[in-house]
């Protein structure tokens, strides 16, 4: 297990064998967030950013996406944490970085989007460098589905392509979204989004429906209740790591995806089967638990590999469920 994580913050990647980089496209953003525990104005965020910060524990990540000239060098340096390549982050002169504002309810289970400004993503046409195109693992983080598709179509060598999305794109770009879904190996969505997408009120039925569209795996994220994995070979579920102090859930889903897909990227020498994805779920869950402990990228940016490993081991301990004697009256 220990070998699955890259060890030093700035050392060259020490990746488990068989890895050839992980390309991610998705929002690179400024977020204004209010939770019951405080607020931040224009902090670094975005789906691709949170994903990269987590996935960079496992593999060399290549971030793809535009930013405006309001994007600071300091934030670019945070995106580059643990060696993430920002070569394909395009700075658009005169453009505005993607901006999102959101507010959480008292128990952090509900979130209202107050504002979304696509900015430089409105006209973005991804042109990947050879290195990003050749990655053998790809994550299409949350962004307009046509942009996801353009990246997916360029990455013809990828062995594992996963994707996320959100209710906005189900509402306004469902046809494009369904096309992307049918072209990937794994879909990672919130449980409510899986229901909305398939119009099936039951999560198991909704996940089975998405599997029938082409992907080999579906992950239903359930916020503080954890995540569920569906493949043709079975089902697996993990609770979230139990935390008493949650400060800001923004990016938890993307951080989960970074741990999950990052783990797969670090094991491309192995068959990508149900058991491998089960182990990936543990890493995704452990990483997401750190993300929510502070605002935005603050916690995961300074996270150490050992801290992640401790939580993975703890998750294993609290969910182990064997040797239960089968005994009932009657």
Write out the residues near ligand AMP by the rule CB under 6 A.
27, 29, 31, 45-47, 100, 116, 142-143, 166, 168, 250-254
To ligand AMP, the closest distance from the beta carbon of 312 in angstroms equals 20
DSSP structure class, residue 299: H
18 within 8 A of 267, measured Cβ to Cβ: yes
Pairing relationship of beta strands 98-104 and 111-117 according to DSSP bridges: antiparallel
For the purposes of burial, counting CB atoms within 10 Å of the CB of 261, is it exposed (0-12), middle (13-18) or buried (19 or more)? buried
Q: Which is closer to ligand AMP, CB of 26 or CB of 267?
A: 26
Q: Which is closer to ligand AMP, CB of 19 or CB of 285?
A: 285
To ligand AMP, the closest distance from the beta carbon of 22 in angstroms equals 18
Q: Which is closer to ligand AMP, CB of 92 or CB of 131?
A: 92
To ligand AMP, the closest distance from the beta carbon of 330 in angstroms equals 47
Distance CA 201, CA 217 (A): 19
To ligand AMP, the closest distance from the beta carbon of 53 in angstroms equals 11
Give the three-state DSSP class for 234.
strand
For the purposes of burial, counting CB atoms within 10 Å of the CB of 308, is it exposed (0-12), middle (13-18) or buried (19 or more)? buried
DSSP structure class, residue 222: -
268 within 8 A of 252, measured Cβ to Cβ: no
Q: Which is closer to ligand AMP, CB of 15 or CB of 220?
A: 220
To ligand AMP, the closest distance from the beta carbon of 84 in angstroms equals 16
To ligand AMP, the closest distance from the beta carbon of 178 in angstroms equals 17
Q: Which is closer to ligand AMP, CB of 29 or CB of 272?
A: 29
Residues in contact with 275: Cβ distance below 8 Å, sequence separation at least 6, in sequence order: none
Q: Which is closer to ligand AMP, CB of 100 or CB of 290?
A: 100
H/E element, 198:
helix 191-198
């Amino acid at each position: 297990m220990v070998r699955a994580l890259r060890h030093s913050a700035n050392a060259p990647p020490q990746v488990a064998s068989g890895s050839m980089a992980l390309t991610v496209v998705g929002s690179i953003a400024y977020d204004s967030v209010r939770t019951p525990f405080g607020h931040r104005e224009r902090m670094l965020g975005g789906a691709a950013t949170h994903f990269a910060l987590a996935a960079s524990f496992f593999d060399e990540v290549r971030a793809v996406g535009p930013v405006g000239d309001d994007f600071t060098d300091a934030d670019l340096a945070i995106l580059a944490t643990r060696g993430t390549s920002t070569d394909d982050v395009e700075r658009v002169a005169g453009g505005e970085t993607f901006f999102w504002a959101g507010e959480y309810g008292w128990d952090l289970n509900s979130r209202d989007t107050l504002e979304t400004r696509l900015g430089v993503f409105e006209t973005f046409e991804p042109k990947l460098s050879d290195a990003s195109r050749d990655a053998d693992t790809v994550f299409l983080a949350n962004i307009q589905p046509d942009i996801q598709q353009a990246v997916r179509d360029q990455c013809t060598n990828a062995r594992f392509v996963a994707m996320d999305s959100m209710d906005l794109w189900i509402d306004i770009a469902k046809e494009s979204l369904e096309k992307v879904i049918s072209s990937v190996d794994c879909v990672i969505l919130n449980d409510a989004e899986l229901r909305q997408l398939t119009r099936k009120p039951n999560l198991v039925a909704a996940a089975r429906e998405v599997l029938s569209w082409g992907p080999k795996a579906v992950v239903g994220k359930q916020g503080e209740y954890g995540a569920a994995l569906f493949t043709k070979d079975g089902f697996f579920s993990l609770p979230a790591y139990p935390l008493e102090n949650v400060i800001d859930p923004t990016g938890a889903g993307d951080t989960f995806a970074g741990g999950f897909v990052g783990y797969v990227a670090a094991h491309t020498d192995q068959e990508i089967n149900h058991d491998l994805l089960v182990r990936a779920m543990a890493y995704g869950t452990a990483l997401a638990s750190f993300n929510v402990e502070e605002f935005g990228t603050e916690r995961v940016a300074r996270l150490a590999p050992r801290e992640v490993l401790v939580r993975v081991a703890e998750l294993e301990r609290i969910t182990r469920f064997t040797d239960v004697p089968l005994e009932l009256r009657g």
